[in-house]
A and B are shown apart, each in its own frame.
Chain A
Amino acid sequence: MISLDDLVSAQDRLIACPQCDALHLVEDLTETESASCARCGTLLIAPRARSFLHVVALSFTAMILMVGAVFFPFLKISTKGLSHDSSVFGAAMTFSDGLLAPLSLAVLLMIVALPVLRFTALIYTLWPLANGRAPWPQAARAFRLAEATLPWSMAEIFVIGTAVALVKVAGLATVSLGPAFWAFCALIIVVALKNSFMSKWTIWNAISQPR
């Protein structure tokens, strides 16, 4: 049993679970060990160097896929000799006239701008750390930004939306998928992988203790 006085003096080595507030005493972990909350199971600490490298690599991949996904056509429709194709950018701009203009901006933010911002901020924060160097200036601000954009990055939801739209117009015309659609599909997998490698505590610990 640990007394309250010990706790206060051991403040640097305590971690409070962000989901349930249970206190844990941090012990030294080897490179491959991870730790979860004993009460609610939230991942508290991820293996350090390896996970940073994974996140950086996956963020780079996601950025490249994003460029392809945005600028290549992702859907093409044709019927009765007429045809029309659309890029992701085109889809977002459909709301651009009249009352719905702000929605156009919101859609662009959610499927392009925020994901890109998040990837950039993560690479900026974790690249030096993955190489065992001291963090770059403003790393804390960059990582805070990356965390804040997480729920609003909706690239993967957009892809499922594409599938629904396909079925809706199937009776109306012939629809074919462009290269950007597949880039977006790959993007979803990459993003899901990346998020599973991240531990906030581990990253903050590395940012605040330059080696």
Chain B
Amino acid sequence: MERHQSAALVAPILTARDAGLVGCRGCGRVWPQGTPTCGRCGARLVPVDVRGLQAVWAWLIAGLIFYVPANLYPMLLTKTLTGHLENTILGGVIELLAHHNYGVAAIVFGASIVIPIGKFIAIAYLALAVGNERRAGGHRHLRLYEVVEFIGRWSMIDVFVVAILSALVQLGFVATINPGPAAASFALSVAFTMLSAQSFDPRLIWRGPPDTAGNK
């Protein structure tokens, strides 16, 4: 690792907001508060404000709504010599377990059930925690936010599995796999939750109580 240095912190810790400035989330350049767009990269300048949380909640609720049919309807329609099978997300996991594929069952269970539900809870928790202004959450909340941002995309894996299986397994009467209706609602649910996480402004995590953070 190289030494990290040379961007001296403006002592002790002053935020752009405290200094009456607004920082660009696209490129880091600062501008006087009230400037509408960044003159360097053209991004819209969004002041650090809890009102931004409304978008977070809206996308989160949309994601939750689509997550329900995603679990009720089948993801995969399988036709084999022995019969016709419809698998929901949970049904697929149980089938993998029955065939002793514990590792893959764990991946699918994690990506399609644990991650989406964990993400709903984590985003809701962050939005509630920064919305009530008693104290700044700091590193713990930032870590949680980073995990949510990083891991959320991985839920899409089940949609890809359905696509791959349906494209591959087209063996006439021996075996045919087709996508079920849940694939679309699951994809939408993941996309909406990703939008929810993206609308969350991580700078809110560091905004302390209002009396010390200035009264702007």
Segment 10-33 of B: residues with Cβ below 8 Å from A: 10-11, 13-17, 19-32
Segment 162-216 of B: residues with Cβ below 8 Å from A: 163-172, 174-175, 178-179, 181, 183-184, 187, 191, 194, 198, 202-203, 205-207
B148 to chain A, nearest CB (A): 12
B168 touching A77, Cβ below 8 Å: yes
B160 touching A22, Cβ below 8 Å: no
Q: Does A113 lie at the interface of the complex (its beta carbon under 8 Å from any beta carbon of B)?
A: no
**Given A107-B163, A154-B153, A173-B175, CB of A21 within 8 Å of CB of B168:** no
Query: Measured between alpha carbons, how far is A90 from B13 in the docked complex, in Å?
Result: 54
Annotate B56-78 by CB proximity to A: 1 below 8 A, 0 otherwise: 00000000000000000000000
Q: Does B99 lie at the interface of the complex (its beta carbon under 8 Å from any beta carbon of A)?
A: yes
Residue numbers in A under 8 Å from B108 (CB-CB):
164
Interface size bucket, B side?
A: 35 or more
**Which residue from chain B places its CB closest to the CB of A90 in the assembled complex?**
B167
A20 touching B205, Cβ below 8 Å: yes
B24 touching A80, Cβ below 8 Å: no
Annotate A111-154 by CB proximity to B: 1 below 8 A, 0 otherwise: 10000000000000000000000000000110110010001101
Interface size on A, residues (CB 8 A): 86
Residue numbers in B under 8 Å from A44 (CB-CB):
7, 28
**Given A20-B206, A75-B164, A204-B29, CB of A168 within 8 Å of CB of B104:** yes
Residue numbers in B under 8 Å from A95 (CB-CB):
163, 166, 179, 183-184
Query: Measured between alpha carbons, how far is A75 from B167 in the docked complex, in Å?
Result: 10
Residue numbers in B under 8 Å from A58 (CB-CB):
none
B48 to chain A, nearest CB (A): 6
Residue among B3, B15, B191 making CB contact with A33, cutoff 8 Å: B3
B184 touching A16, Cβ below 8 Å: no
Q: Does A189 lie at the interface of the complex (its beta carbon under 8 Å from any beta carbon of B)?
A: no
Q: Does B97 lie at the interface of the complex (its beta carbon under 8 Å from any beta carbon of A)?
A: no
**Which residue from chain A places its CB closest to the CB of B206 in the assembled complex?**
A20
Annotate B29-49 by CB proximity to A: 1 below 8 A, 0 otherwise: 111100000001111000010
Q: Does B51 lie at the interface of the complex (its beta carbon under 8 Å from any beta carbon of A)?
A: no
A11 touching B2, Cβ below 8 Å: no
**B-binding residues in A (CB < 8 A):** 1-2, 4, 7-8, 11, 14-29, 32-40, 44-45, 47, 75, 77, 79-80, 82, 84-86, 90-95, 99-100, 102-103, 106-107, 110-111, 140-141, 143-144, 147, 151-152, 154, 157-158, 160-165, 167-169, 171-173, 175, 200-201, 203-205, 207-208
25 pairs, A vs B, C-beta closer than 8 Å = A4-B19, A11-B21, A14-B21, A16-B15, A18-B25, A18-B28, A20-B203, A22-B206, A23-B14, A39-B206, A44-B28, A77-B171, A79-B175, A80-B174, A82-B171, A90-B167, A94-B163, A95-B183, A95-B184, A103-B179, A103-B184, A160-B157, A161-B158, A169-B169, A204-B28
